[in-house]
Amino acid sequence: MSILIKNGTLVTMNPQRDILQADLLIEGNRIQKIGKNIMSESATVIDASGKLVIPGLIQSHIHLCQVLFRGLADDLELLDWLRLRIWPLEGAHDEESLFYSSLLGCAELLRGGTTSIIDMGTVHHTESIFEAVKRAGIRYLGGKCMMDYGAEVPASLMDNTDNALSESLDLLSRWDGKEDNRIHYAFCPRFAVSCSEELLQEIQRLSCEYHIPVHTHASENLGEVALIEKERGMRNVLYLNELGLCNENLILAHCIHIDDEEKKVLAESRTNIVHCPSANLKLASGIAPIPQLLEQGARVSLGADGAPCNNNLNIFMEMRLAALIHKPFNGPLSMPAEQVFELATLGGARAIGLENDIGSLETGKKADVVIVDIKNWHSQPSSAANAYSHLVYQSQASDVDAAIVDGKILMMNRKISSINEAELKSQAEKSLKRVLSRIAF
């Protein structure tokens, strides 16, 4: 399939950070050519006049399994949020409810310009998540959530070490590299609070053996940090580093409550840190020291986290907040718009391990492309000269007009082709009722 995007303003994120008035030609699943007045008789032509053409946006920390539970866990801090609401809800999922939760999340993500995600599943029925992302067409890295420890973990989610590992390896063998390498597997221990040291050690070994990323949480909440220090004898990041997990294959969400030694470990180990500003504010967890981490050369990207702690999956909101919340403490020059946009593109590409394939509009890279309308009132006056400002401070998810993943048009004129939206909404409502019938808060 050939696609020719004409007359747009290309925010390339190439090494020169070129912003071009140009056309972009897609052949198959790759960007074939960028230039003026490109012609192609066989291509599907998209007129992007008055619009920004950008790399597909990347969210490095998502919980598709929780999308069904939006609005059911408000105004709680992390450990109570998990114990009182999220863990019982996740434990009540069935295969179908998890499928529709995941598909609902994919629809929201695509409509908001997110074309790639790093996800953490729940303990059971993980196959349903993979089936949903296969249908939706989104680029995906994720896996089964692993939990084998902790007095507060409900029986519905408590796994044993051997089963957590064997199920993960089985899913790895069946899904990693599927859909022409659009879907990849990651080991997903929830966090050290709910994972035994034996499990974490084995995950580290298997990650090295299979060259598979590890996606987990750390240092999100003061109570969590204190608990790990009491049980494991050291601070969270130092503990993970002691186990050999801190490296460029680790995707570590949050990293709010970290000291100077931990910042140094994260930067020097090239661990991928995921900044989730909305979730961190809503759960009253705090504000991660992102400007300081970036100054030290740390690898940082963005994510919305789960719908119940946000309550949406809007990368434009995450970019805006990431640019704003640090300025009162670090000055107006901290977190400029271009740097924040990089976190949502190239930063995410590094975290997902695909920096040579996605994150920028360059000839030869995968065709993950988003088109953003800047003719709306909140975008006026519009100018290519301040494209980063438009994208980070002004643009909204509803401005996304089209989304292309792996050379396939998944959304055009805000209509998703890979998902029956009316059926999805109906099935999501039925699934939620079924899940809620199994638990009592």
Is the pLDDT reported for residue 385 higher than 70? no
Residue 341 to residue 390: CA distance in whole angstroms: 11
Q: What is the pLDDT of residues 300-354, one digit of tens each?
A: 999 999 999 999 999 999 999 999 999 999 999 999 999 999 999 999 999 999 9
Q: Are residue 61 and residue 198 in the same domain, yes or no?
A: yes
The rounded mean pLDDT for the chain is 97
Q: What is the pLDDT of residue 384?
A: 58
Read off the CATH number of the domain in which 126 is found: 3.20.20.140
Residue 408 lies in a domain: yes
Can you tell me the mean pLDDT for 374-397?
86
Task: Provide the sign of the torsion angle of the four alpha carbons 325, 330, 333, 337, taken in this order.
Answer: negative
**Domains in the chain: how many in total?**
2
Is the pLDDT at 261 greater than 90, yes or no? yes
* Spatial contact of 252 and 218, defined as CB atoms under 8 Å apart: yes
* Residue 186 covered by a domain: yes
In terms of domains, do 280 and 302 share one?
A: yes
The bridge status of strand 57-62 relative to strand 114-120 is: parallel
- Residue 375: the pLDDT is 87
Residue 186 has pLDDT above 90, yes or no: yes
* 432 in a structural domain: no
Q: Does 190 share its domain with 104?
A: yes
Residues 84 and 73 in one domain: yes
Q: Which string of DSSP letters, residue by residue, matches 363-415?
A: TTSB--EEEEE--SGGGPSP-GGGHHHIIIII--GGGEEEEEETTEEEEETTE
- Predicted TM-score (pTM) of the model is 0.97
Residues in the chain: 441
Dist. CA 184–CA 130, nearest whole Å: 10
- Asked whether residue 117 is assigned to any structural domain, the reply reads yes
In the prediction, which pLDDT does 168 show?
Answer: 98
pLDDT for residue 220? 98
Residues 6+ apart with CB under 8 A from 8: 21, 22, 23, 24, 48, 49, 51, 52, 53, 371
Mean pLDDT across 366-378: 93
Write the pLDDT tens digit of every residue in 2-21. Answer: 999 999 999 999 999 999 99
Is the same domain home to 191 and 309? yes
**Residue 254 contacts residue 288 (beta carbons within 8 Å):** yes
Q: Where in the sequence is the domain holding 387, given as residue range(s)?
A: 2-55+361-416
Beta bridge partners of residue 142, listed in sequence order: 119, 185
CATH number for position 42 = 2.30.40.10
Can you list the alpha helix ranges (DSSP code H) found in 140-184? 161-175, 178-181
Residue 428, domain member (yes or no) = no
Q: What is the pLDDT of residues 95-115, one digit of tens each?
A: 999 999 999 999 999 999 999
pLDDT in tens, 226-256: 999 999 999 999 999 999 999 999 999 999 9
Do 16 and 63 share a domain, yes or no? no
**Whether residue 374 is found in the same domain as residue 266:** no
pLDDT value, residue 37 = 93
Instruction: Report yes or no on 65 lying in a domain.
Output: yes
Least confident of 36-45, 160-169, 239-248: 36-45
- pLDDT on residue 303: 98
Do 196 and 337 belong together in one domain? yes
Run of H or E including 183: strand 183-185
What does the DSSP 8-state code read for residue 187?
Answer: B
pLDDT at position 189, please? 98
Measured distance CA(347)–CA(359) in Å, rounded: 8
Final residue of a structural domain among 302, 326, 352: 352
Q: Are residues 141 and 228 in the same domain?
A: yes
Q: Domain for residue 422, yes or no?
A: no
Q: Is the pLDDT of residue 440 over 90?
A: no
Residues 203 and 65 in one domain: yes
The verdict on 263 and 383 lying in the same domain is no
Question: 144 in a domain, yes or no?
Answer: yes
Residue 380 pLDDT level (bands cut at 50, 70, 90)? confident
For residue range 53-65, what is the model confidence (pLDDT) as tens digits? 999 999 999 999 9
User: Do 122 and 33 belong to one domain?
Assistant: no
Predicted confidence band of residue 441 (pLDDT cuts 50, 70, 90): confident
Predicted confidence (pLDDT) at residue 382 exceeds the cutoff of 80 = no
417 Cβ neighbours under 8 A, 6+ residues apart: 409, 410, 411
Task: Check residue 378 and give its pLDDT.
Answer: 84
Number of H helices, E strands in the chain: 18, 19
Which of 22-26, 164-168, 352-356, 386-390 comes out lowest in average pLDDT?
386-390
CB 34 within 8 A of CB 371: no
Q: What are phi and psi of 254, to 5 degrees?
A: 90, -80
